[in-house]
Amino acid sequence: MTTQPTHPDTHTQRQLVIIGNGMVGHHAAMSFLEACGEPTGWAIHIIGEETYSAYDRVHLSEYFQGKTHADLALGTLEQYNQLGIHTHLGVAARQIDRDGKTVVLADDTRLPYDALILATGSYPFVPPIPGHDLPSCLVYRTLDDLDAIRNAASDGSVGVVIGGGLLGLEAANALKSLGLDTHVIEFAPQLMPVQLDADAGTLLRDKIQALGVQVHVNTATQSITTDEQGRTVLTFADGEPLVTDVVVFSAGIRPQDALARDAGLTMGERGGVAINNQCQTSDPAIYAVGEVALWNNAIFGLVAPGYRMAETAAAHLAGGDAAFTGADMSTKLKLLGVDVGAIGDAHARSAGAVTYRYSNERSGVYRKLVTSADGSRLLGAILVGDNSLYDTLLQYYLNDITLPKEPDSLILPSSEGVPQLGVDALPDTATLCSCLNVTKGDVVSAIDAGCCSLGEVKTETRASSGCGGCAAMLKQVVDATLEARGVEVDHSLCEHFSYTRQELFHLVQVGQIKTFDALIREHGKGLGCDICKPTVASILASCWNEGVLEPAHVKLQDTNDTFLANMQKDGTYSVVPRIAGGEITADKLIVIGEVAKEYDLYTKITGGQRVDLFGAQLHQLPEIWKRLIDAGFETGQAYGKSVRTVKSCVGSTWCRYGQQDSVGMAILLENRYKGLRAPHKLKFAVSGCTRECAEAQSKDIGVIATEHGWNLYVCGNGGMKPRHADLFATDLDDVTLIKTIDRLLMFYIKTADRLQRTARWMENLEGGLDYLKDVILNDSLQMNAELEQQMARIVDSYQCEWKAVLDDPEKLKRFRTFVNSNSADSNVVFVKEREQIRPAREEEKARLIATA
Amino acid sequence: MTANAQSHTQIHPSGTSPWVQVCSVDDLVPGSGVAALVLGQQIALFFLPGDGQLTQLQRVYALANQDPASGANVMARGLLGDINGERVVAAPLYKHHFSLETGRCLEDDTWQVPVWPARIVDGQVEIEWV
Ligand code: SRM
Ligand SMILES: Cc1cc2nc3c(=O)[nH]c(=O)nc-3n(C[C@H](O)[C@H](O)[C@H](O)COP(=O)(O)OP(=O)(O)OC[C@H]3O[C@@H](n4cnc5c(N)ncnc54)[C@H](O)[C@@H]3O)c2cc1C
Ligand code: SF4
Ligand code: FES
């Protein structure tokens, strides 16, 4: 707890006290500083009951994926200090003394105020079911709650969420991610009754059940007790009792308004502190913002409206004028991997409302439009299973844009893909980013003021720095605006080709172009460079697979590809034989050892489950590889932008938890895709069960065995900007798994940018994961047959590049340190460290060469 | 793999000419580089074949093989190309570009690698040793 003494200058400065250091309380402080400019003439105090400084509650669940408070923090103590804000964390405000204009804290500190902002948020409602206060009964709101849940789950196997609303399903996902058998109990006949209609709720339930979470609707919990084993038992009005280890209540939230009630402020009938359009309560010196505030008889349980309230109160307090006039409650979510979107009057309660529905049980997609009586205006919508239409529909709704003549054309599947609402159709007032309240007009002004890229617009407007849901729409608006300004959004690969990689790929394929020289003569200019040459080499290899060291291609390759080895800092090379899936026999290990010993190579186990031999000179590479190839090894392509390794865990063959033969599958995949050239390197892994010892979720292609087959994850990576892979398809059999990977990889190879890994590629695809699923799983572009064929051609024409070199004296010619001498490079000098060689440092080298 | 290693460096038969024979044209790789050892000095030879396709005239360039950025003798293993019309090699480790004509580094003026005039006479590659 950090309580600072009240400061000496209380006489000159006015005092602003903010109770609650949640998302909105934090935003209120920041907005106030911004609204005042420097110096404020105010002293600001923030009181927070949680020990943590304000953090991003919206992304709370990511705490279970390894994020820490520091990752989620919105404001840190240091920042507050720097801004001169006084913090009182880990201590609740106990009382507001309106007559004395003082707030009393739980530790009896008294803080005088001239103005007070209440931002105490809400608390999870726990229904008074007998037993609701057992130690295994928890809630899902704060980091401390999550710690408690993790604790309770640590030696349990079953978890129950009471409440099938939006937060309940999010909590269910968390329990599932902790490895618990998860159940959701909902009192109503369907999930998410607030946002969804019955059909949508049913579809959502089916989808969630298919993911292994058991959903019990129409189920009222009667009591919670403890059995002899100390486990928790739920009893229902009817049906079997349920034995569990953790119960998470998610039965709605209630405004945390006790302080205000005790202070005699005007309250709503069902709670909440009543506020006017300036966010003032019935006492004009006291404002209320966020989930504790009741505006026009409504509580807004989302962060964006809370932020608007905070800004309004701050502006008003700073002497400006602003008004809160309500907020849109539309939501777009991914719950347990299932897309759900709800816009406006989803239940068609408006007078005369007309409803259109599209439902496809096969692909698990449900879409509903609610329009005005004449069909010209969108009043609401529901989407389940596919959110790709959400952005477009939301813009129709928010901006009151006239709908097409046949509104249902918007939700019917069309052969032309998703009907996009042209960004030109949006008025300047259209909100693009609701989290940060950025309109199309703001984006256009930012560009007028000199921003000339998406990145600059983001920095300037802060758009897309909240939930991120607006990213695709924002990019469209930025690109269109820049293009309208005549700013050429330059997609050229380099000065020799004014095409993108994707366009070049197309030119190569359609024009059946087989060489770089032909391509640059027809479509480029100059000699080429170290950007376009390797890019084209990779495209040619992906299309025709002729072998990177064939005479026409050899001059295009990046150094490592030219010599089929990775150059090290001193000009020597490393040698990495393929060890598919990490599986290796004792005999082969011995060969590696012998070769390393004979050539005195530094030997290291890599991060990719294989062995790397360092310190070979150019002229030694063929001899070394001859030894390895004779012993049955192949090149590991550690040098190429190509498939690296398929990491595996030991799987069902040995491991007591293994569901399938993960090693077998890893070897199969590695052998299938070895040699495949791609825009960037590709890494795979296969785990034998959900414990995930092969770390498949950090790979471009990750496969995890299930009872019934394989779950496929895609587009993850470690490296500079790590990203967890997304679940792409579940319970695939071997053949479908491989087909799906074939298509996905080939689609990536065709469409990605140079040196763009799958993660960035997917993030940049318009429509992202959903679009990708549509293309690969539903064949929406009708190109799957072609993709599979192209992959088959590459798989069939695989050859070990090192073997091809050893068989061809012409190619071997290049592997000489000097063309006119048998000498080695005298500048390559090693010293011993931990019984192996390493490159000598400059001073060591000078000494060694001098004494030689 | 050392097929041509016998063709040791020779002073031109005239005895007085500064042109030094290095290797045969067959030792060069069209559109790319190889390294040679000339009087104890490591030299990178780059070959544009003049096949009438991308380059009209046959040209050989000779630069020092040492890359100033890394100190390693690797220049011959860089990629060839042109930047704003200037023919360059991209050094393989850290990708600085060096002019094939002058040895000047495009990214850093203070780096200048030695260059030698080079030519092909009767199928032999020669550099002028000055
Ligand atoms: C040898 C090894 C480190 C080790 O001692 O374990 C290694 C070594 C190199 N890595 Fe790596 N990486 C190695 C595993 C990894 C891993 C871990 C893994 O694969 O499980 C990662 C993070 C996972 C990932 O990629 O998603 C990794 C992320 C990188 C990156 C960053 C990629 C990114 O997307 O941000 C680079 C740079 C790049 O590729 O542009 C890189 C590049 C390199 C290069 C090729 C740098 C270079 O151009 O000289 C290193 C030389 C390799 C060589 O053999 O001479 N290495 N590198 C590992 C070889 C694995 C193998 O058997 O093939
Ligand atoms: C798991 C989860 C997922 C969510 N997902 C989304 C989403 O996707 N989109 C969205 O818009 N919203 C989402 N929300 C809701 C969003 O987090 C809230 O709308 C937002 O946090 C409200 O901010 P607030 O500041 O009003 O309340 P809070 O963030 O709850 O902050 C209130 C703070 O005040 C403190 N406090 C209370 N009483 C006192 C007192 N007497 N003295 C001192 N301090 C006190 C509390 O400890 C708390 O820290 C989600 C919420 C959760 C829990
Ligand atoms: S982490 Fe960096 S230094 Fe280490 S091997 Fe990878 S690229 Fe090289
Ligand atoms: S809408 Fe959430 S970040 Fe833009």
pLDDT tens sequence across A360-387: 888 889 999 999 999 999 999 999 998 8
Spacing of C-alpha A799 from chain mean position: 37
With a 6 Å cutoff on the Cβ, whether A603 touches ligand 1 is no
Lowest mean pLDDT among A98-107, A409-418, A676-685: A409-418
State mean pLDDT over A787-809: 93
Query: Ligand nearest A141 Cα, by number?
Result: 2
Q: Of B26, B27, B77, B87, which to mutate for an interface test with A (greatest number of A Cβ within 10 Å)?
A: B77
With a 6 Å cutoff on the Cβ, whether A566 touches ligand 1 is yes
User: Cα(A203)–Cα(A183) distance, rounded to whole angstroms?
Assistant: 17
Q: In this complex, do B1 and A816 lie within 8 Å of one another by their Cβ atoms?
A: yes
Query: Ligand nearest A569 Cα, by number?
Result: 1
Contact A433, A472 (CB under 8 A): no
Q: Could you report the per-residue pLDDT of A205-217, keeping only the tens digit for each?
A: 999 998 889 999 9
Say yes or no to pLDDT of A813 above 50. yes
For residue A770, give Cα distances in angstroms to A127, A369, A727, A739, A774: 37, 20, 11, 18, 6
Query: Ligand nearest A465 Cα, by number?
Result: 4
What residue ranges line ligand 2, CB within 6 angstroms? A 19-25, 47-50, 57-58, 60-61, 92-93, 119-122, 140-141, 167, 170, 256, 259, 290-291, 301-304, 306
Q: Global pTM?
A: 0.55
Say yes or no to pLDDT of A8 above 60. no
Q: In this complex, do A533 and B72 lie within 8 Å of one another by their Cβ atoms?
A: no
**Closest ligand 4 atom, CA of A465?**
3
Tell me, what's the pLDDT at A1? 41
State mean pLDDT over A339-347: 92
Helix axes A440-448, A471-484, angle to 10 degrees: 40
> B105 to chain A, minimum CA–CA distance in Å?
15
- Could you check whether the bond before residue B18 is cis, i.e. omega within 30 degrees of 0? no
Say yes or no to pLDDT of A28 above 80. yes
pLDDT band per the 50, 70, 90 thresholds, residue A120: very high
Tell me, what's the pLDDT at A11? 56
Say yes or no to pLDDT of A488 above 90. no
Tell me, what's the pLDDT at B99? 96
Looking only at the bridges linking them, the beta strands covering A566-567 and B19-24 are unpaired
Looking only at the bridges linking them, the beta strands covering B59-64 and B115-116 are antiparallel
Contact A473, A436 (CB under 8 A): no
Q: How many CB atoms sit inside 10 A of residue A632's CB?
A: 11
Tell me, what's the pLDDT at A361? 84
| 3-state SS, residue B104 | strand
Tell me, what's the pLDDT at A490? 65
User: Which residue puts its alpha carbon closest to atom 23 of ligand 1?
Assistant: A718
> B71 to chain A, minimum CA–CA distance in Å?
8
Say yes or no to pLDDT of A832 above 50. yes
Closest partner CB to B1 (pick from A563, A815, A842): A815
Q: In this complex, do B92 and A567 lie within 8 Å of one another by their Cβ atoms?
A: yes
Q: Could you report the per-residue pLDDT of A203-248, keeping only the tens digit for each?
A: 999 999 988 899 999 999 999 999 999 999 999 988 899 999 999 9
Contact B113, B75 (CB under 8 A): yes
> Mean pLDDT for chain A?
91
State mean pLDDT over A394-401: 88
Say yes or no to pLDDT of A496 above 60. yes
Tell me, what's the pLDDT at A417? 43
Q: Give the distance (Å) from ligand 1 centre to CA of residue A699.
A: 13
Q: In this complex, do B74 and A827 lie within 8 Å of one another by their Cβ atoms?
A: no
Measured at the CA of A177, the angle between CA A173 and CA A179, to 5 degrees, comes to 125
**Closest ligand 2 atom, CA of A142?**
53
Tokens of A812: 């071997």
For residue B38, give Cα distances in angstroms to B10, B104, B125: 9, 22, 12
Q: In this complex, do A555 and B74 lie within 8 Å of one another by their Cβ atoms?
A: no
The nearest alpha carbon in chain A to B8 belongs to: A820
Q: Could you report the per-residue pLDDT of A430-454, keeping only the tens digit for each?
A: 888 887 889 999 999 998 888 877 8
pLDDT band per the 50, 70, 90 thresholds, residue A273: very high
Tell me, what's the pLDDT at A2? 43
Tell me, what's the pLDDT at A5? 43
Q: In this complex, do B35 and A521 lie within 8 Å of one another by their Cβ atoms?
A: no
Q: Measured between beta carbons, which residues in chain B are less than 8 angstroms from residue A814? A: 29, 34
Closest partner CB to B82 (pick from A529, A619, A814): A529
Say yes or no to pLDDT of A419 above 60. no
Say yes or no to pLDDT of B15 above 80. no
User: Cα(B88)–Cα(B44) distance, rounded to whole angstroms?
Assistant: 13
Say yes or no to pLDDT of A547 above 90. no
Say yes or no to pLDDT of B107 above 90. no
User: Cα(A831)–Cα(A845) distance, rounded to whole angstroms?
Assistant: 9
The nearest alpha carbon in chain A to B72 belongs to: A570
Delimit the domains of chain B by residue range. 20-128
Q: Which domains does chain A have, with CATH numbers?
A: 14-123+255-317 (3.50.50.60), 137-251 (3.50.50.60), 328-421 (3.30.390.30), 422-489 (1.10.10.1100), 501-557 (no CATH), 563-630 (3.90.480.10), 643-794 (3.30.413.10)
Q: The domain B20-128 belongs to what CATH superfamily?
A: Rieske [2Fe-2S] iron-sulphur domain (2.102.10.10)
Torsion over CA: A78, A82, A83, A85 (sign): positive
The nearest alpha carbon in chain A to B23 belongs to: A820
Kindly state the percentage of chain A with pLDDT values over 70: 96
Lowest mean pLDDT among A408-417, A690-699, B35-44: A408-417
Could you tell me which residues come within 8 angstroms of residue B78 by beta carbon, excluding any fewer than 6 positions away?
A: A530, A559, B33, B44, B67, B89, B90, B91, B92
User: Cα(A46)–Cα(A40) distance, rounded to whole angstroms?
Assistant: 16
User: Which residue puts its alpha carbon closest to atom 1 of ligand 4?
Assistant: A433
Kindly state the percentage of chain B with pLDDT values over 90: 63
Q: Could you report the per-residue pLDDT of B26-76, keeping only the tens digit for each?
A: 999 999 999 999 988 999 999 998 766 666 788 999 999 999 999 999 999
Q: In this complex, do A529 and B79 lie within 8 Å of one another by their Cβ atoms?
A: yes
Could you tell me which residues come within 8 angstroms of residue A26 by beta carbon, excluding any fewer than 6 positions away?
A: A46, A53, A54, A74, A75
Q: Of A820, A821, A830, A843, which to mutate for an interface test with B (greatest number of B Cβ within 10 Å)?
A: A820
> B89: which strand partners?
B80, B98
Measured at the CA of B109, the angle between CA B104 and CA B113, to 5 degrees, comes to 35
State mean pLDDT over A834-848: 91
Q: Measured between beta carbons, which residues in chain A are less than 8 angstroms from residue B72? A: 569-571, 827
Q: What's the number of CA atoms in the CB half-sphere (13 Å) around residue B86?
A: 15
Lowest mean pLDDT among A137-151, A212-226, A400-414, A548-562: A400-414
Say yes or no to pLDDT of A851 above 80. no
Lowest mean pLDDT among A528-542, A561-575, A670-684, A760-774: A760-774
Say yes or no to pLDDT of B14 above 60. no
User: Cα(A688)–Cα(A829) distance, rounded to whole angstroms?
Assistant: 45
The nearest alpha carbon in chain A to B77 belongs to: A559
Q: Does B15 touch chain A (CB under 8 A)?
A: no
Tell me, what's the pLDDT at A414? 61
